[in-house]
Each structure stands twice: as C-alpha cells, then as structure tokens.
Amino acid sequence: MTADAPATGSDGRTRRQWLTLGVAAVLLAVLCLVAARWQWHRYTEREAQIDLVEANYSAEPVPVGELLPGPGARLEPGDVWRPAVLEGRYVPDATVLLRNRPVQSTPGFHVLVPFEADLPGGGEVVVVVDRGFVPLGEDASAPSSVPAPPDGEVRAVVTLRADEPASDRSAPDGQVQAISTEQVLAAGRAGGDWAAGRTVDAYGQLRAEDPAPAVSPGALPPPDTDPGSHLSYAFQWLVFAAGAVGGYVLLWRRETRPVTVTAGALLEESDLQPRRRERARRASDEDYEDALLDAGAQARDTSSA
C-alpha cells in the first residue's frame, strides 16, 4: 500500500504578503522602541529633578548674596530650590498678581511683591517674592483681598527659583501670566524703572517673614517629588515592541509548518476505500433493480389496457 506525499498547512500567503507583514512588524517595533526611549529620558530627567529638590530644599538658608552676588546675577541650575535669607524692604506699591496658577486644584492668584535686599558688601538687589496664594473673588477676575506685606525692615526666608520665560499672553492691569522679573516689575503701578540696574534673574518663594504680618496669603506647598509613570510606560513600550516581532514569528511558524500525517491515519483511510466502493456498488444495483420493476409494471399496465 502506498501513500501520497504529506500535505502542508499553509493559508496560501505569498512571499510578498509575508514580506509586507514582516516590514510592518519591524516598523511597529521601531516606533515602540522610540517611545520607550523617550519615556526613559523623561524618567531620568525627572529623577535628576527630584534629586536636586531633595538635596537643596532642606538645606540651611544662606544670605542671598552667596547665591546672587549682585545685580544681573543669574541663579545657577545647581542652586535652584535652595533657601536664602533676604534682609531689606518690600515695595508694596509694586505688588502684582500671577494668574492661572491653582494650588492643590484651587483656582486663584499668587501675590508677587518686589523686595529690596541688602548685600553684605554694600548695595542691594531687587528680588521678586512670591508671598503665597489667594483664592478667586466673586467675579473671578481678581481676589476679594490681597494681604499686605510687613512694613519697614523685614527678614524673609525664601526658596530661590530661576526666572520663568516671559509670557506672550495678555493680562489685566496689575497681573501677569509668568514670574519673569522684567514683566512683573513692568506690571506694577510705577512700572519697572525704579528697579533698573538692580534686578537679578531669579525669584523667591516665601517660607517665613520676620516680623510676621497679621494676615498672610496661603502658604505655597513644597515641591512635588512624585516620579510619575515614565518608567512603567518605558517598560510597556518595550513589551509592545517584543510583541510585534514575536507575534509575526509565531504567525509565520504556525502557518508554514507541515502537517504530519501518521501511518495509522493513512491505513484507516485505505481501509475505508473498499467499503465506500462496496456501498456505491450496492446503491447502483438497487437502482437497477428498481428500474426493472418500474419497467415491468408499466408493460403490464399497457397490455391490460
């Protein structure tokens, strides 16, 4: 007994179709790897920011002159979030409100007041101080009230931050959209000419004032040290990249591997063939006999008629 050659389990995909699927899988994997790399860089950048916050925010306050030695000084990136001591005077007439900066999901304004800080070696610098948060008023265009800073000589402890980029968005009089020293001073009642030649490229977030005022704005929260989900997203994109390539390989192997036909299956098939032929012969004989009977019956009917 002989058997035919084994069959193959293919769905008939052409070489071009397999090539197209392979290119698509590789492109998808590359895009996933690019996304994973971007998320990884975001993670490492965020970790560096958190490390800087943890190292600087809890440090001992130092005189502002050690970090901003004179007019025009720029805060070094490694000194961001460091506490500094300002000794001098607020300039209440130059108070400005910062818009669109909610605190803990509460909409409102930040109160920005310039501070004339004395330097140890003589001279002074003007530092914008973010004194805190005030909620929206009845019409949401301004707060109901703005607490005034202490009068006279003041000792203020602030957290130093780098100036924000100037905003190109408009704002009502006495308000700004970013903490840019130049824009804050220009938005005050007297403009910024009074501070010309004494400003620095930094501002301070208030921690404490001595003497303390009777009423203060709401305190600003400490910096956020949540690392976010960048690391988990990076791993997810890596899994997607591996799935794209692995899925193609599994599909190819499943649809192109040969189907194994066992000897037992071939023997069973060969045994069935005689039985099928016998059933077909019997059916043919029965049909022939039925035809003869029908013909005889028709002949008798004709003769009797």
| Per-residue confidence (pLDDT) for residue 7, from 0 to 100 | 43
Encoded tokens for 110: 């930040």
Rounded to the nearest 10 degrees, what angle do helices 230-256 and 15-56 cross at?
A: 160
| Per-residue confidence (pLDDT) for residue 65, from 0 to 100 | 95
What is the spatial distance between Cα 53 and Cα 80, in angstroms, rounded to a whole number?
8
Q: By C-alpha distance, which of 257, 236, 228 is closest to 8?
A: 257
| Per-residue confidence (pLDDT) for residue 271, from 0 to 100 | 59
Residues comprising the chain, all counted: 305
Alpha helices of the chain — where are they, by DSSP H?
15-56, 64-67, 181-187, 230-256, 263-304
What is the spatial distance between Cα 116 and Cα 128, in angstroms, rounded to a whole number?
9
| Per-residue confidence (pLDDT) for residue 6, from 0 to 100 | 44
What is the spatial distance between Cα 291 and Cα 297, in angstroms, rounded to a whole number?
10
In the numeric block, the tokens 């049909």 are attached to 287
Tell me the DSSP string of 207-261. Answer: EEEESPPSS-PBPPPPPP---TTHHHHHHHHHHHHHHHHHHHHHHHHHHHSBPP-
**Count of CB atoms within 10 A of residue 87's CB?**
19
| Per-residue confidence (pLDDT) for residue 12, from 0 to 100 | 64
| Per-residue confidence (pLDDT) for residue 296, from 0 to 100 | 55
Q: By C-alpha distance, which of 166, 171, 114, 164 is closest to 142?
A: 171
List residues bridging with 133 in a β-sheet: 110, 218
205 class by beta-carbon count within 10 Å (0-12 exposed, 13-18 middle, 19+ buried): buried
pTM above 0.85, yes or no: no
| Per-residue confidence (pLDDT) for residue 114, from 0 to 100 | 97
**Count of CB atoms within 10 A of residue 243's CB?**
15
Q: By C-alpha distance, which of 225, 104, 85, 82 is closest to 160?
A: 82
What is the spatial distance between Cα 232 and Cα 226, in angstroms, rounded to a whole number?
14
Q: By C-alpha distance, which of 217, 197, 235, 266 is closest to 43?
A: 235
How would you write the pLDDT of the chain (305 residues) with one tens digit per residue? 444 444 444 456 888 888 999 999 999 999 999 999 999 999 999 999 999 999 999 999 999 999 999 999 999 999 999 999 999 999 999 999 999 999 988 999 999 999 999 998 889 999 999 999 999 988 888 898 999 999 999 999 999 999 999 999 999 999 999 999 999 999 998 899 999 999 999 999 999 999 999 999 999 999 988 898 999 999 999 999 999 999 989 988 888 776 555 555 555 555 556 666 666 666 555 555 555 555 555 555 545 54
For the chain, helix, strand, coil in percent to 5 are: 45, 20, 35
Cis bond before residue 211 (omega within 30° of 0): yes
Q: Are 205 and 161 in contact (CB under 8 A)?
A: yes
Q: Are 233 and 39 in contact (CB under 8 A)?
A: yes
Name the residue ranges covered by the structural domains of the chain: 15-55+229-256, 58-210
How far, in Å, are 28, 31, 70, 238, 254 from residue 250 at the CA level?
16, 20, 67, 18, 6
